A = this chain, B = another copy of it.
């Protein structure tokens, strides 16, 4: 884990004071506790200044957030850059407030401190890097927060379990300011090494799959993501960069210009529990997380296995001679044989396995296995 201190300048931004909160509540004039921070981490607006006084209902109303359309949801609110205090509550609770005096108490501090973040670099054969980035800033929210670090951690464990061709950089940062700080520390290195990257956001529910492209929509990052999702037979929502909302905003900004897309199940803002207390463990599931893991491991497998080969022999090889004819002594099925023959026919030294995969609709990892078998049989050679 790393940190920067309050006052640290990152490009156009400055790290603000550190906010800590010990508790807070609203009590009526009889001392009945109507709302208590210990019931929900989102009951007090993030970054609220400390307060301890008695106010009229009218004054209190100006410091309450609720959502009339979702009467049982507590909204998640913050005010990082404008000093203020507020309580967040269900609209049902708000409607029950009487015209009375209330004691409001927020036991918070806003003092010079630090902003924490972390990264994990898993070295591979090559110093070329794949960037995976997720965020750590929404307290107690499940899909739009916890799911990302959970998936990133699972991927980190899986990536560490075997040697990899590429280096993987997994970044855990508070959204926006965290990625800006991270970029301010590592920009030159990242611009030199990162050739693909994905923000992991809202990857825990089981309602849909989503991909958001880089601004140009045709980077290697985009081509791999579309290929992997298609090879898995997944129908997914395709969002343009115009719909961005997480750290791709920083990674893809003009002077950073890293090829970073976003992998999501259901996109932030597109599900009803988003940014409320309802985005809890009921929204995410093992199936939801596992689906996102499957997509990311297919993407990584595609990146790891995407190479370019060239067929060696003019014309088709005599398959029987190489034990590759399906009705002969080959261990290949008819379908495998068809893919093998297509792989040979399209491997001209220019088309990558990814290019060929898009044409013949067979996964890159599987084509890589066939290609390596053909290399052993001296029917194909690796170009790059």
Shortest Cβ distance from A259 into chain B, in angstroms?
A: 13
Tell me, yes or no, whether A281 is within 8 Å of chain B by CB: no
Total identical chains: 3
Q: Which of B314, B345, B346, B359 contacts A187 (CB 8 A)?
A: B314
Q: Is A81 an interface residue (CB 8 A)?
A: yes
By a CB distance below 8 angstroms, the chain B residues around A187 are 314
A255 part of interface (Cβ distance < 8 Å) = yes
**Contact assessment for B11 and A315 in the assembled complex, using a CB-CB cutoff below 8 Å:** yes
Contact B254 A349 (CB under 8 A): yes
Q: Are A315 and B347 in contact (CB under 8 A)?
A: no
Q: Judge if A53 is at the interface, Cβ distance under 8 Å.
A: no
User: Is A310 located at the chain interface by the 8 A CB criterion?
Assistant: yes
Structural contact, B345 and A311, CB atoms closer than 8 A: no
Q: Which of these binds chain B: A56-64, A110-118, A122-130, A317-325?
A: A317-325
Name the distance in Å between A359's Cβ and chain B's nearest Cβ: 7
Interface check A207, CB cutoff 8 A:
no
> Which chain B positions have C-beta within 8 A of A162?
none
* Given A183-B314, A315-B180, A359-B242, CB of A347 within 8 Å of CB of B254: yes
List of B residues within 8 angstroms of A176 by Cβ: 316
Q: A250 in the interface, Cβ–Cβ < 8 Å? A: yes
Q: Looking at the assembled complex, report how far the CB atom of A330 sits from the nearest CB atom of chain B, in whole angstroms.
A: 12
A residues with CB within 8 A of B:
10-14, 81-82, 176, 179-180, 183-184, 187, 215, 241-242, 244, 249-250, 252-257, 310-318, 320-321, 325, 327-328, 342, 344-349, 359-360, 379
12 contacts between A and B (CB under 8 A): A10-B315, A12-B379, A13-B315, A82-B320, A82-B328, A215-B346, A244-B345, A250-B316, A253-B311, A254-B347, A254-B348, A257-B348
Q: Known contacts A12-B317, A12-B379, A255-B311; can you find 9 more A-B pairs with CB under 8 A? A: A81-B325, A242-B359, A244-B345, A249-B345, A252-B345, A253-B345, A254-B344, A254-B345, A255-B312
